[in-house]
Structure 1
Amino acid sequence: MQKLGLVLIIVSFLPWLAIAIILPFLPISVAQKALLVPALLVFAEVLFWLGALLVGKEVVQKYRRYLNFRYLRILFKRWKRKNRKRL
């Protein structure tokens, strides 16, 4: 069940990509695009939360830490220091 949950979480990012990359170039009217954007957003959220329910609280907290800006900043600083030493 955890693998299915992780797959759902990963697939939940595809509608966001579709909105940013594919939707602007579709040969449909602006009104149809305006209706499609919220539908895709709701679909993405539903997929994400279903996946989160399947993987469990511990796994979600672990991956949530990776998306924290403070943690990402620490990783970036470490990467920068590591690259300075190479030069």
Structure 2
Amino acid sequence: MDVFPDFDGMRGIGNLQSVAGALLMFALIIAVLMLIVCAIVWAIAAGTGNYQIATKSRNGVLVALGAAVLAGAGVTWLNWLIDLGSRL
């Protein structure tokens, strides 16, 4: 008795890849824009001596940087998983 996976069970894998890629690209663009905004606010706040806002902006830069890294890595990971699934 031979058991093989059903390769026709996932017909919409191309649609899944394009939708997930578009959503992760949107998240990456938002993260990079927030990184730029927080960096500008951090520089202005530090220059004017408002260290409370500078600290919050620095935290925003770190969070936006982490989100950008995760969104970029998410695209790579999703493509790897889809490629791995198609080779099974």
TM-score (ref. length: structure 2): 0.47
Higher normalized helix content (fraction of residues): 1
